[in-house]
Amino acid sequence: MIHELLLENFVLIERAELSFNKGLIAITGETGAGKSLFIQGIKLILGGKFGQQHIRNNEESSQIQAVIQIDLNKKELLDELGIISDNNELIIRRAVTKNGRNKNVLSGSQISIAELKKITEDTVSIAGQHEQQNLLKEEMHLLWLDAYAKLNEKKEEYLKKFRQWQELSRELDSKLKKKKETKTLIEKLETNGQKIDAVSPKKNEDITLEENIRLLKSSAQLVNLGSECYKNLYAGKGSVIENLYKIKLDLEKMLSIDPNLSKTFKELENAHFLIEEISDVIRDYLEKLPKDISRLEQFEDRFYALKELKRHYGPELDDVISYRMRIDSEIEALRKNDEFIDELSKKIDVKEKALLDVAISISNIRKQAAQKFSKEIEKSISELKMKGTRFEIQVITPENPGKSDLTPDGVDRVLFLFSANPGAPLGQLKEIASGGELSRVMLAIREILSETEEAGTIIFDEIDAGLSAEVAELVGYKLKKLSKAMQVFVITHFPQIAALADSHFIVKKNIESGETSTEIYEITNEDRKREVARMLGGISEESMILSEKLLQNIL
Protein backbone atom coordinates (compact mmCIF):
# COMPACT_ATOMS: atom_id res chain seq x y z
CA MET A 1 0.00 0.00 0.00
CA ILE A 2 1.16 3.52 -0.84
CA HIS A 3 0.76 5.99 2.05
CA GLU A 4 2.66 9.01 0.72
CA LEU A 5 4.27 10.18 -2.51
CA LEU A 6 6.55 13.18 -3.02
CA LEU A 7 7.53 14.38 -6.52
CA GLU A 8 10.04 17.25 -6.62
CA ASN A 9 11.39 18.91 -9.78
CA PHE A 10 9.97 15.92 -11.61
CA VAL A 11 9.42 16.54 -15.35
CA LEU A 12 6.74 19.29 -15.22
CA ILE A 13 6.04 19.06 -11.49
CA GLU A 14 7.80 21.53 -9.22
CA ARG A 15 6.61 19.86 -6.03
CA ALA A 16 3.71 17.56 -5.18
CA GLU A 17 3.21 16.05 -1.73
CA LEU A 18 0.42 13.47 -1.76
CA SER A 19 -1.07 11.34 1.01
CA PHE A 20 -3.25 8.33 0.28
CA ASN A 21 -5.61 6.18 2.35
CA LYS A 22 -7.18 2.83 1.65
CA GLY A 23 -10.13 2.43 -0.65
CA LEU A 24 -10.79 3.75 -4.16
CA ILE A 25 -8.67 6.72 -5.21
CA ALA A 26 -9.58 8.62 -8.39
CA ILE A 27 -7.08 10.66 -10.39
CA THR A 28 -8.58 12.93 -13.01
CA GLY A 29 -7.66 15.87 -15.19
CA GLU A 30 -7.97 17.15 -18.71
CA THR A 31 -6.29 15.30 -21.55
CA GLY A 32 -2.61 16.22 -21.66
CA ALA A 33 -2.56 17.58 -18.11
CA GLY A 34 0.07 15.06 -17.09
CA LYS A 35 -1.78 12.21 -15.36
CA SER A 36 0.86 9.82 -16.70
CA LEU A 37 3.42 11.53 -14.43
CA PHE A 38 1.75 9.90 -11.46
CA ILE A 39 2.25 6.47 -13.07
CA GLN A 40 5.85 7.33 -13.96
CA GLY A 41 6.56 8.34 -10.37
CA ILE A 42 5.14 5.06 -9.01
CA LYS A 43 7.17 3.04 -11.53
CA LEU A 44 10.35 4.81 -10.41
CA ILE A 45 9.55 4.09 -6.75
CA LEU A 46 9.31 0.42 -7.75
CA GLY A 47 12.78 0.51 -9.34
CA GLY A 48 12.25 1.95 -12.82
CA LYS A 49 15.05 3.74 -14.66
CA PHE A 50 15.45 7.26 -13.20
CA GLY A 51 17.38 9.54 -15.58
CA GLN A 52 18.21 13.11 -16.48
CA GLN A 53 15.09 13.28 -18.69
CA HIS A 54 13.02 13.31 -15.49
CA ILE A 55 14.63 16.53 -14.19
CA ARG A 56 12.47 19.65 -14.50
CA ASN A 57 13.79 22.39 -16.80
CA ASN A 58 16.41 24.71 -15.26
CA GLU A 59 16.81 22.47 -12.19
CA GLU A 60 19.93 20.62 -11.11
CA SER A 61 18.29 17.51 -9.70
CA SER A 62 15.03 15.67 -9.20
CA GLN A 63 13.83 13.47 -6.39
CA ILE A 64 10.89 11.22 -5.60
CA GLN A 65 9.98 9.79 -2.24
CA ALA A 66 7.29 7.40 -1.06
CA VAL A 67 6.12 5.77 2.13
CA ILE A 68 4.87 2.28 1.33
CA GLN A 69 3.72 -0.67 3.36
CA ILE A 70 4.99 -4.06 2.29
CA ASP A 71 4.00 -7.63 3.13
CA LEU A 72 5.25 -9.32 6.27
CA ASN A 73 6.98 -11.97 4.13
CA LYS A 74 9.56 -9.34 3.08
CA LYS A 75 10.88 -9.06 6.67
CA GLU A 76 13.57 -11.69 6.13
CA LEU A 77 14.88 -9.81 3.08
CA LEU A 78 14.89 -6.53 5.04
CA ASP A 79 16.83 -8.22 7.85
CA GLU A 80 19.43 -9.44 5.34
CA LEU A 81 19.90 -5.85 4.15
CA GLY A 82 20.02 -4.52 7.72
CA ILE A 83 16.92 -2.36 7.20
CA ILE A 84 14.62 -1.71 10.15
CA SER A 85 10.97 -0.83 9.48
CA ASP A 86 8.09 0.03 11.78
CA ASN A 87 4.87 -1.81 10.94
CA ASN A 88 6.54 -2.88 7.68
CA GLU A 89 6.48 0.73 6.45
CA LEU A 90 9.39 1.80 4.30
CA ILE A 91 10.56 5.20 3.12
CA ILE A 92 11.93 5.04 -0.41
CA ARG A 93 13.86 8.04 -1.71
CA ARG A 94 15.42 8.29 -5.15
CA ALA A 95 17.34 11.22 -6.61
CA VAL A 96 19.08 11.98 -9.90
CA THR A 97 21.34 14.92 -10.81
CA LYS A 98 22.09 16.55 -14.16
CA ASN A 99 25.44 14.78 -14.31
CA GLY A 100 23.59 11.47 -14.18
CA ARG A 101 24.42 10.48 -10.60
CA ASN A 102 21.72 8.44 -8.87
CA LYS A 103 21.02 7.85 -5.21
CA ASN A 104 18.62 5.21 -3.91
CA VAL A 105 17.87 5.19 -0.19
CA LEU A 106 15.57 2.81 1.65
CA SER A 107 14.67 3.85 5.23
CA GLY A 108 18.07 5.50 5.66
CA SER A 109 20.14 2.79 3.96
CA GLN A 110 21.58 3.14 0.46
CA ILE A 111 20.61 0.20 -1.74
CA SER A 112 20.94 -0.97 -5.33
CA ILE A 113 18.15 -0.89 -7.90
CA ALA A 114 18.10 -4.72 -7.95
CA GLU A 115 17.53 -4.77 -4.18
CA LEU A 116 14.81 -2.10 -4.46
CA LYS A 117 12.99 -4.10 -7.13
CA LYS A 118 13.18 -7.25 -5.04
CA ILE A 119 11.72 -5.50 -1.99
CA THR A 120 8.91 -3.70 -3.84
CA GLU A 121 7.88 -6.53 -6.19
CA ASP A 122 4.25 -7.60 -5.68
CA THR A 123 3.61 -4.38 -3.70
CA VAL A 124 1.94 -2.41 -6.50
CA SER A 125 0.30 -3.76 -9.65
CA ILE A 126 -0.28 -1.43 -12.60
CA ALA A 127 -3.05 -2.26 -15.07
CA GLY A 128 -3.00 0.10 -18.01
CA GLN A 129 -4.58 0.38 -21.44
CA HIS A 130 -1.57 -1.44 -22.86
CA GLU A 131 -2.50 -4.41 -20.68
CA GLN A 132 -5.63 -4.86 -22.75
CA GLN A 133 -3.27 -5.65 -25.60
CA ASN A 134 -1.98 -8.53 -23.50
CA LEU A 135 -5.40 -10.12 -23.95
CA LEU A 136 -4.34 -10.57 -27.57
CA LYS A 137 -1.28 -12.58 -26.55
CA GLU A 138 -1.62 -16.31 -25.93
CA GLU A 139 1.30 -16.43 -23.51
CA MET A 140 -0.52 -14.01 -21.19
CA HIS A 141 -3.61 -16.23 -21.18
CA LEU A 142 -1.51 -19.02 -19.73
CA LEU A 143 0.11 -16.75 -17.12
CA TRP A 144 -3.27 -15.44 -15.91
CA LEU A 145 -4.72 -18.94 -15.67
CA ASP A 146 -1.67 -20.08 -13.70
CA ALA A 147 -2.03 -17.12 -11.34
CA TYR A 148 -5.67 -18.04 -10.76
CA ALA A 149 -4.75 -21.70 -10.20
CA LYS A 150 -2.00 -20.66 -7.74
CA LEU A 151 0.54 -22.70 -9.66
CA ASN A 152 3.61 -20.62 -8.72
CA GLU A 153 5.30 -23.26 -6.53
CA LYS A 154 4.42 -26.09 -8.90
CA LYS A 155 5.76 -24.10 -11.86
CA GLU A 156 8.97 -23.28 -10.00
CA GLU A 157 9.48 -27.01 -9.40
CA TYR A 158 8.75 -27.70 -13.07
CA LEU A 159 11.00 -24.89 -14.34
CA LYS A 160 13.89 -26.16 -12.20
CA LYS A 161 13.49 -29.66 -13.69
CA PHE A 162 13.02 -28.18 -17.17
CA ARG A 163 16.29 -26.23 -16.98
CA GLN A 164 18.17 -29.29 -15.72
CA TRP A 165 16.72 -31.39 -18.56
CA GLN A 166 17.45 -28.64 -21.08
CA GLU A 167 21.07 -28.32 -19.92
CA LEU A 168 21.62 -32.09 -20.11
CA SER A 169 19.97 -32.18 -23.56
CA ARG A 170 22.28 -29.43 -24.79
CA GLU A 171 25.24 -31.36 -23.42
CA LEU A 172 24.08 -34.53 -25.19
CA ASP A 173 23.62 -32.65 -28.47
CA SER A 174 27.14 -31.30 -28.11
CA LYS A 175 28.52 -34.78 -27.42
CA LEU A 176 26.68 -36.29 -30.37
CA LYS A 177 27.91 -33.49 -32.62
CA LYS A 178 31.46 -34.21 -31.49
CA LYS A 179 31.04 -37.96 -31.92
CA LYS A 180 31.89 -37.78 -35.64
CA GLU A 181 34.81 -35.50 -34.90
CA THR A 182 35.90 -37.94 -32.19
CA LYS A 183 35.90 -40.86 -34.63
CA THR A 184 38.12 -38.89 -37.03
CA LEU A 185 40.43 -37.91 -34.16
CA ILE A 186 40.74 -41.52 -32.94
CA GLU A 187 41.65 -42.65 -36.47
CA LYS A 188 44.26 -39.90 -36.67
CA LEU A 189 45.74 -40.83 -33.28
CA GLU A 190 45.85 -44.52 -34.23
CA THR A 191 47.62 -43.68 -37.50
CA ASN A 192 50.15 -41.51 -35.66
CA GLY A 193 50.75 -44.30 -33.15
CA GLN A 194 51.33 -46.80 -35.94
CA LYS A 195 53.80 -44.49 -37.66
CA ILE A 196 55.80 -44.05 -34.46
CA ASP A 197 55.62 -47.79 -33.64
CA ALA A 198 56.91 -48.64 -37.12
CA VAL A 199 60.14 -46.81 -36.25
CA SER A 200 60.05 -47.62 -32.51
CA PRO A 201 62.48 -44.89 -31.42
CA LYS A 202 64.67 -45.23 -28.31
CA LYS A 203 65.68 -42.47 -25.96
CA ASN A 204 68.70 -40.47 -27.30
CA GLU A 205 68.93 -42.85 -30.27
CA ASP A 206 69.21 -39.97 -32.70
CA ILE A 207 72.28 -38.64 -30.87
CA THR A 208 74.00 -42.07 -30.95
CA LEU A 209 73.17 -42.56 -34.60
CA GLU A 210 74.48 -39.13 -35.54
CA GLU A 211 77.78 -39.92 -33.78
CA ASN A 212 78.11 -43.34 -35.45
CA ILE A 213 77.40 -41.84 -38.88
CA ARG A 214 80.04 -39.18 -38.31
CA LEU A 215 82.55 -41.81 -37.14
CA LEU A 216 81.84 -44.22 -40.00
CA LYS A 217 82.31 -41.46 -42.54
CA SER A 218 85.75 -40.67 -40.99
CA SER A 219 86.64 -44.23 -40.01
CA ALA A 220 89.62 -44.71 -42.40
CA GLN A 221 91.18 -41.39 -41.46
CA LEU A 222 90.75 -42.11 -37.73
CA VAL A 223 92.34 -45.58 -38.11
CA ASN A 224 95.32 -44.16 -39.97
CA LEU A 225 95.88 -41.32 -37.52
CA GLY A 226 95.25 -43.51 -34.47
CA SER A 227 97.58 -46.27 -35.67
CA GLU A 228 100.35 -43.76 -36.32
CA CYS A 229 99.87 -42.30 -32.83
CA TYR A 230 99.98 -45.75 -31.20
CA LYS A 231 103.05 -46.72 -33.23
CA ASN A 232 104.95 -43.53 -32.33
CA LEU A 233 103.97 -43.69 -28.68
CA TYR A 234 104.40 -47.40 -28.00
CA ALA A 235 104.62 -50.01 -30.75
CA GLY A 236 107.16 -48.69 -33.30
CA LYS A 237 110.94 -48.72 -33.29
CA GLY A 238 112.20 -45.59 -31.63
CA SER A 239 108.81 -45.00 -30.00
CA VAL A 240 108.36 -42.59 -27.13
CA ILE A 241 108.09 -45.49 -24.65
CA GLU A 242 111.32 -47.06 -25.94
CA ASN A 243 113.23 -43.77 -25.63
CA LEU A 244 111.76 -43.06 -22.21
CA TYR A 245 112.96 -46.45 -21.05
CA LYS A 246 116.53 -45.65 -22.13
CA ILE A 247 116.34 -42.21 -20.48
CA LYS A 248 115.02 -43.84 -17.31
CA LEU A 249 118.06 -46.19 -17.16
CA ASP A 250 120.46 -43.28 -17.56
CA LEU A 251 118.67 -41.11 -14.98
CA GLU A 252 118.65 -44.05 -12.58
CA LYS A 253 122.48 -44.19 -12.77
CA MET A 254 122.65 -40.45 -12.17
CA LEU A 255 120.37 -40.82 -9.14
CA SER A 256 122.78 -43.37 -7.59
CA ILE A 257 125.44 -40.68 -7.71
CA ASP A 258 123.25 -37.66 -6.77
CA PRO A 259 120.19 -38.34 -4.61
CA ASN A 260 118.91 -34.79 -5.39
CA LEU A 261 117.54 -36.17 -8.68
CA SER A 262 114.99 -38.39 -6.92
CA LYS A 263 112.10 -36.01 -7.61
CA THR A 264 113.01 -35.74 -11.28
CA PHE A 265 113.31 -39.52 -11.51
CA LYS A 266 109.86 -39.93 -9.99
CA GLU A 267 108.32 -37.50 -12.48
CA LEU A 268 109.95 -39.42 -15.32
CA GLU A 269 108.46 -42.65 -14.03
CA ASN A 270 105.01 -40.99 -13.93
CA ALA A 271 105.45 -39.77 -17.50
CA HIS A 272 106.35 -43.31 -18.50
CA PHE A 273 103.17 -44.69 -16.94
CA LEU A 274 101.05 -41.88 -18.47
CA ILE A 275 102.34 -42.58 -21.96
CA GLU A 276 101.55 -46.26 -21.50
CA GLU A 277 97.98 -45.38 -20.43
CA ILE A 278 97.52 -43.06 -23.40
CA SER A 279 98.77 -45.77 -25.70
CA ASP A 280 96.29 -48.26 -24.21
CA VAL A 281 93.40 -45.78 -24.68
CA ILE A 282 94.33 -45.21 -28.33
CA ARG A 283 94.61 -48.96 -28.89
CA ASP A 284 91.19 -49.59 -27.33
CA TYR A 285 89.66 -46.70 -29.30
CA LEU A 286 90.95 -48.19 -32.56
CA GLU A 287 89.52 -51.56 -31.66
CA LYS A 288 86.07 -50.06 -30.98
CA LEU A 289 85.90 -47.94 -34.11
CA PRO A 290 83.06 -49.11 -36.48
CA LYS A 291 84.85 -50.80 -39.29
CA ASP A 292 81.84 -52.09 -41.33
CA ILE A 293 81.32 -49.16 -43.70
CA SER A 294 78.37 -51.03 -45.26
CA ARG A 295 76.28 -50.11 -42.15
CA LEU A 296 76.57 -46.41 -42.94
CA GLU A 297 73.54 -46.47 -45.26
CA GLN A 298 71.52 -48.39 -42.66
CA PHE A 299 72.41 -45.83 -39.96
CA GLU A 300 71.58 -42.93 -42.28
CA ASP A 301 68.15 -44.39 -43.20
CA ARG A 302 67.21 -44.83 -39.55
CA PHE A 303 68.50 -41.37 -38.65
CA TYR A 304 66.28 -39.89 -41.40
CA ALA A 305 63.27 -41.89 -40.12
CA LEU A 306 63.82 -40.45 -36.63
CA LYS A 307 64.20 -36.97 -38.12
CA GLU A 308 60.81 -37.31 -39.85
CA LEU A 309 59.17 -38.35 -36.57
CA LYS A 310 60.67 -35.31 -34.85
CA ARG A 311 59.44 -33.06 -37.64
CA HIS A 312 55.84 -34.28 -37.23
CA TYR A 313 55.63 -35.00 -33.51
CA GLY A 314 58.72 -33.30 -32.00
CA PRO A 315 60.68 -31.10 -32.04
CA GLU A 316 62.86 -33.47 -29.96
CA LEU A 317 62.89 -37.27 -29.92
CA ASP A 318 61.86 -37.18 -26.25
CA ASP A 319 58.73 -35.30 -27.37
CA VAL A 320 57.95 -38.02 -29.91
CA ILE A 321 58.30 -40.77 -27.29
CA SER A 322 56.16 -38.80 -24.78
CA TYR A 323 53.48 -38.22 -27.44
CA ARG A 324 53.39 -41.95 -28.21
CA MET A 325 52.87 -42.68 -24.53
CA ARG A 326 49.92 -40.24 -24.45
CA ILE A 327 48.21 -41.56 -27.58
CA ASP A 328 46.75 -44.69 -25.96
CA SER A 329 45.34 -42.77 -22.98
CA GLU A 330 43.85 -40.13 -25.29
CA ILE A 331 42.21 -42.79 -27.45
CA GLU A 332 40.83 -44.47 -24.33
CA ALA A 333 39.43 -41.16 -23.05
CA LEU A 334 37.82 -40.45 -26.43
CA ARG A 335 36.27 -43.90 -26.56
CA LYS A 336 34.80 -43.31 -23.13
CA ASN A 337 32.78 -40.49 -24.74
CA ASP A 338 30.48 -43.12 -26.25
CA GLU A 339 29.97 -44.66 -22.82
CA PHE A 340 29.29 -41.16 -21.43
CA ILE A 341 26.73 -40.54 -24.19
CA ASP A 342 24.89 -43.73 -23.24
CA GLU A 343 24.91 -42.78 -19.54
CA LEU A 344 23.82 -39.22 -20.34
CA SER A 345 20.98 -40.47 -22.55
CA LYS A 346 19.70 -42.68 -19.72
CA LYS A 347 19.94 -39.79 -17.28
CA ILE A 348 18.01 -37.53 -19.67
CA ASP A 349 15.30 -40.17 -20.08
CA VAL A 350 14.80 -40.26 -16.30
CA LYS A 351 14.73 -36.43 -16.09
CA GLU A 352 12.37 -36.28 -19.06
CA LYS A 353 9.90 -38.69 -17.48
CA ALA A 354 9.92 -36.73 -14.20
CA LEU A 355 9.50 -33.49 -16.14
CA LEU A 356 6.57 -34.83 -18.15
CA ASP A 357 4.93 -36.08 -14.94
CA VAL A 358 5.09 -32.57 -13.43
CA ALA A 359 3.94 -30.99 -16.73
CA ILE A 360 0.92 -33.32 -16.93
CA SER A 361 0.13 -32.65 -13.27
CA ILE A 362 0.20 -28.89 -14.01
CA SER A 363 -1.97 -29.48 -17.09
CA ASN A 364 -4.60 -31.28 -15.03
CA ILE A 365 -4.68 -28.45 -12.48
CA ARG A 366 -4.99 -25.92 -15.31
CA LYS A 367 -7.93 -27.74 -16.86
CA GLN A 368 -9.81 -27.86 -13.56
CA ALA A 369 -9.02 -24.20 -12.84
CA ALA A 370 -9.93 -23.15 -16.40
CA GLN A 371 -13.54 -24.27 -15.96
CA LYS A 372 -13.97 -22.34 -12.72
CA PHE A 373 -12.06 -19.26 -13.95
CA SER A 374 -14.13 -19.18 -17.15
CA LYS A 375 -17.40 -19.17 -15.20
CA GLU A 376 -16.20 -16.42 -12.86
CA ILE A 377 -15.06 -14.21 -15.76
CA GLU A 378 -18.32 -14.87 -17.60
CA LYS A 379 -20.33 -13.91 -14.51
CA SER A 380 -18.25 -10.75 -13.93
CA ILE A 381 -18.53 -9.45 -17.50
CA SER A 382 -22.25 -10.22 -17.57
CA GLU A 383 -22.56 -7.69 -14.74
CA LEU A 384 -21.02 -5.09 -17.08
CA LYS A 385 -23.81 -4.99 -19.66
CA MET A 386 -22.57 -8.08 -21.47
CA LYS A 387 -25.38 -10.53 -20.70
CA GLY A 388 -25.47 -13.57 -22.94
CA THR A 389 -21.72 -13.24 -23.49
CA ARG A 390 -19.86 -16.51 -23.34
CA PHE A 391 -16.28 -16.85 -22.21
CA GLU A 392 -14.26 -20.04 -22.18
CA ILE A 393 -10.66 -20.85 -21.35
CA GLN A 394 -9.40 -23.70 -23.49
CA VAL A 395 -6.37 -25.71 -22.40
CA ILE A 396 -4.90 -27.54 -25.40
CA THR A 397 -2.64 -30.50 -24.57
CA PRO A 398 -1.04 -32.98 -27.01
CA GLU A 399 -2.64 -36.43 -26.90
CA ASN A 400 0.59 -38.12 -25.84
CA PRO A 401 2.97 -35.37 -24.69
CA GLY A 402 6.63 -36.00 -25.50
CA LYS A 403 9.89 -34.15 -25.24
CA SER A 404 9.15 -32.10 -28.37
CA ASP A 405 6.08 -30.66 -26.58
CA LEU A 406 7.98 -29.47 -23.50
CA THR A 407 8.33 -25.71 -23.04
CA PRO A 408 9.27 -23.58 -20.01
CA ASP A 409 5.52 -23.39 -19.26
CA GLY A 410 4.72 -27.08 -19.64
CA VAL A 411 2.95 -28.87 -22.48
CA ASP A 412 -0.17 -26.71 -22.80
CA ARG A 413 -1.48 -23.93 -24.97
CA VAL A 414 -4.10 -21.72 -23.32
CA LEU A 415 -6.63 -19.80 -25.39
CA PHE A 416 -9.28 -17.30 -24.31
CA LEU A 417 -12.43 -17.92 -26.35
CA PHE A 418 -15.23 -15.37 -26.54
CA SER A 419 -18.67 -14.84 -27.97
CA ALA A 420 -20.40 -11.47 -27.48
CA ASN A 421 -23.74 -12.53 -28.99
CA PRO A 422 -26.09 -15.31 -27.84
CA GLY A 423 -26.02 -18.23 -30.23
CA ALA A 424 -22.81 -17.06 -31.92
CA PRO A 425 -19.97 -19.58 -31.93
CA LEU A 426 -16.97 -19.08 -29.70
CA GLY A 427 -13.90 -17.62 -31.33
CA GLN A 428 -10.52 -16.45 -30.18
CA LEU A 429 -10.86 -13.33 -28.03
CA LYS A 430 -8.12 -11.53 -29.97
CA GLU A 431 -10.02 -11.94 -33.23
CA ILE A 432 -13.54 -10.87 -32.30
CA ALA A 433 -13.59 -8.67 -29.18
CA SER A 434 -13.93 -4.89 -29.48
CA GLY A 435 -11.90 -2.40 -27.44
CA GLY A 436 -14.74 -1.88 -24.95
CA GLU A 437 -15.24 -5.62 -24.58
CA LEU A 438 -11.53 -6.10 -23.98
CA SER A 439 -11.65 -3.46 -21.23
CA ARG A 440 -14.45 -5.27 -19.45
CA VAL A 441 -12.80 -8.69 -19.78
CA MET A 442 -9.56 -7.21 -18.46
CA LEU A 443 -11.33 -5.70 -15.47
CA ALA A 444 -13.06 -9.01 -14.76
CA ILE A 445 -9.73 -10.83 -14.83
CA ARG A 446 -8.16 -8.22 -12.55
CA GLU A 447 -11.11 -8.38 -10.16
CA ILE A 448 -10.89 -12.16 -9.85
CA LEU A 449 -7.10 -12.29 -9.69
CA SER A 450 -7.04 -9.66 -6.96
CA GLU A 451 -8.04 -12.44 -4.57
CA THR A 452 -4.84 -14.32 -5.40
CA GLU A 453 -2.46 -11.36 -5.94
CA GLU A 454 -0.08 -10.37 -3.18
CA ALA A 455 -0.11 -6.71 -4.22
CA GLY A 456 -1.68 -4.37 -1.66
CA THR A 457 -2.21 -1.68 -4.30
CA ILE A 458 -3.51 -1.83 -7.85
CA ILE A 459 -3.49 1.10 -10.29
CA PHE A 460 -5.94 1.14 -13.22
CA ASP A 461 -4.62 3.50 -15.88
CA GLU A 462 -7.59 4.48 -18.08
CA ILE A 463 -8.80 0.89 -18.22
CA ASP A 464 -12.29 2.36 -18.91
CA ALA A 465 -11.26 3.47 -22.43
CA GLY A 466 -13.83 2.58 -25.07
CA LEU A 467 -16.72 2.12 -22.62
CA SER A 468 -20.09 3.82 -22.60
CA ALA A 469 -21.13 6.02 -19.65
CA GLU A 470 -23.61 3.33 -18.52
CA VAL A 471 -20.95 0.62 -18.53
CA ALA A 472 -18.41 2.94 -16.95
CA GLU A 473 -20.71 3.32 -13.93
CA LEU A 474 -20.86 -0.46 -13.57
CA VAL A 475 -17.06 -0.59 -13.87
CA GLY A 476 -16.93 2.01 -11.10
CA TYR A 477 -18.99 -0.21 -8.80
CA LYS A 478 -16.66 -3.13 -9.49
CA LEU A 479 -13.65 -0.98 -8.69
CA LYS A 480 -15.39 0.17 -5.51
CA LYS A 481 -16.02 -3.43 -4.52
CA LEU A 482 -12.41 -4.31 -5.29
CA SER A 483 -11.19 -1.41 -3.12
CA LYS A 484 -12.77 -3.01 -0.04
CA ALA A 485 -9.97 -5.57 -0.09
CA MET A 486 -7.09 -3.41 -1.34
CA GLN A 487 -5.98 0.11 -2.23
CA VAL A 488 -7.19 0.90 -5.76
CA PHE A 489 -6.12 3.89 -7.86
CA VAL A 490 -8.04 4.65 -11.04
CA ILE A 491 -7.03 7.20 -13.66
CA THR A 492 -10.29 7.94 -15.41
CA HIS A 493 -12.18 10.32 -17.69
CA PHE A 494 -15.57 9.10 -16.45
CA PRO A 495 -17.39 11.18 -13.80
CA GLN A 496 -19.44 8.11 -12.83
CA ILE A 497 -16.22 6.37 -11.69
CA ALA A 498 -14.59 9.45 -10.13
CA ALA A 499 -17.74 10.11 -8.06
CA LEU A 500 -17.52 6.66 -6.46
CA ALA A 501 -13.97 7.22 -5.20
CA ASP A 502 -13.19 7.53 -1.49
CA SER A 503 -10.64 10.24 -2.32
CA HIS A 504 -10.09 12.30 -5.44
CA PHE A 505 -6.90 13.86 -6.86
CA ILE A 506 -6.74 16.26 -9.79
CA VAL A 507 -3.92 16.85 -12.25
CA LYS A 508 -3.75 20.37 -13.73
CA LYS A 509 -1.44 21.90 -16.30
CA ASN A 510 -0.50 25.58 -15.91
CA ILE A 511 1.27 27.86 -18.40
CA GLU A 512 2.76 31.02 -16.93
CA SER A 513 5.38 33.31 -18.53
CA GLY A 514 5.95 30.71 -21.23
CA GLU A 515 6.71 28.00 -18.66
CA THR A 516 4.58 24.86 -18.38
CA SER A 517 4.03 23.16 -15.04
CA THR A 518 1.83 20.40 -13.67
CA GLU A 519 0.15 20.21 -10.28
CA ILE A 520 -1.31 17.17 -8.53
CA TYR A 521 -3.35 17.64 -5.39
CA GLU A 522 -6.34 16.25 -3.54
CA ILE A 523 -9.73 17.90 -3.99
CA THR A 524 -12.74 17.78 -1.72
CA ASN A 525 -16.20 19.28 -1.33
CA GLU A 526 -16.92 22.10 -3.80
CA ASP A 527 -13.68 21.60 -5.77
CA ARG A 528 -14.53 17.97 -6.28
CA LYS A 529 -18.08 18.83 -7.33
CA ARG A 530 -16.69 21.24 -9.94
CA GLU A 531 -14.24 18.63 -11.29
CA VAL A 532 -16.99 16.01 -11.67
CA ALA A 533 -19.13 18.66 -13.36
CA ARG A 534 -16.28 19.41 -15.77
CA MET A 535 -16.03 15.69 -16.55
CA LEU A 536 -19.77 15.64 -17.27
CA GLY A 537 -19.21 18.00 -20.18
CA GLY A 538 -18.34 21.38 -18.75
CA ILE A 539 -19.23 23.42 -15.69
CA SER A 540 -22.81 24.64 -15.85
CA GLU A 541 -25.74 24.86 -13.48
CA GLU A 542 -27.11 21.60 -14.85
CA SER A 543 -23.78 19.75 -14.62
CA MET A 544 -23.22 21.04 -11.07
CA ILE A 545 -26.61 19.65 -10.01
CA LEU A 546 -25.87 16.31 -11.66
CA SER A 547 -22.40 16.29 -10.13
CA GLU A 548 -23.90 16.77 -6.66
CA LYS A 549 -26.27 13.87 -7.27
CA LEU A 550 -23.38 11.62 -8.30
CA LEU A 551 -21.44 12.60 -5.21
CA GLN A 552 -24.34 12.58 -2.73
CA ASN A 553 -23.36 9.18 -1.43
CA ILE A 554 -19.88 10.51 -0.65
CA LEU A 555 -20.11 14.22 0.29
| Amino acid at the residue 547 | S
Domain extent listing, the chain = 1-130+454-523, 182-333
Percent of the chain's residues with pLDDT above 90: 43
> How many C-alpha atoms does 116 have within 13 Å on its Cβ side?
25
Mean pLDDT computed over every residue of the chain: 87
Query: What is the per-residue pLDDT across 492-530, written as a single tens digit (0 to 9) for each?
Result: 999 999 999 999 999 999 888 778 899 999 999 999 999
Burial of 388 (0-12, 13-18, 19+ CB in 10 A): exposed
Q: What is the tens place of the pLDDT at every residue in 272-304?
A: 999 999 999 989 888 887 776 667 778 888 889
d(CA 161, CA 499): 51
Q: For the ranges 55-59, 125-129, 176-180, 414-418, which has the lowest average pLDDT?
A: 125-129
Domain 1-130+454-523 listed as CATH 3.40.630.30: no
pLDDT, tens digit (0-9, with 9 covering 90-100), for 381-397: 888 888 888 999 999 99
For the segment 460-473, the average pLDDT, to the nearest whole number, is 79
pLDDT in tens, 245-279: 899 898 989 988 888 999 999 999 999 999 999 99
Confidence of residue 182 (pLDDT cuts 50, 70, 90): confident
Cβ contact 463:493 at 8 Å: no
Q: What is the pLDDT of residues 22-69, one digit of tens each?
A: 999 999 998 888 888 998 999 999 999 999 999 999 899 999 999 998
Contact 98/57 with Cβ under 8 angstroms? no
Q: Which tops the pLDDT comparison, 296 or 90?
A: 90
Give the pLDDT band (50/70/90) at residue 446: confident
